[in-house]
Homo-oligomer: A and B are copies of this chain.
């Protein structure tokens, strides 16, 4: 049976898949990689990533709502950075798995 186990596992999968959904988009993943390096303003991210200001703002807003990012005003700039420590850890794992030279 193991139904109780499966049920709690299902719950965990739901939680994890929430985070994964945010990361499972090429542009958002790129944004997160960029922010993992250091915090950045919206404009910097737009230049670096190459999408419209509007879409960038929507992506950032969404990830902020989900608790992955925080923003802080700095003069006329809005600076975003990664809030959820799990994001760093997932990014690191992904790098290990996908980007390591396996020589």
CA distance A31 to B10 in the complex (A): 10
Counting chain A residues whose Cβ lies within 8 A of the other chain, the interface size class is: 20 to 34
Minimum distance in angstroms from A56 CB to a CB of chain B:
14
Quick check: A15 and B98 within 8 Å, CB to CB? yes
Q: Which of B13, B25, B27, B89 contacts A29 (CB 8 A)?
A: B13
Whose C-beta in chain B lies nearest to the C-beta of A29? B13
Q: Which of B9, B14, B26, B97 contacts A17 (CB 8 A)?
A: B26
Q: Which B residues are CB-close (under 8 A) to A25?
A: 17, 21
Is A12 an interface position by the 8 A CB rule? yes
Quick check: A24 and B26 within 8 Å, CB to CB? no
Q: List 17 A-B contacts (CB under 8 A).
A: A6-B49, A12-B98, A13-B26, A13-B27, A17-B23, A17-B26, A20-B20, A20-B29, A21-B24, A23-B24, A24-B24, A86-B97, A89-B96, A89-B97, A90-B94, A93-B93, A93-B96
CA distance A83 to B89 in the complex (A): 25
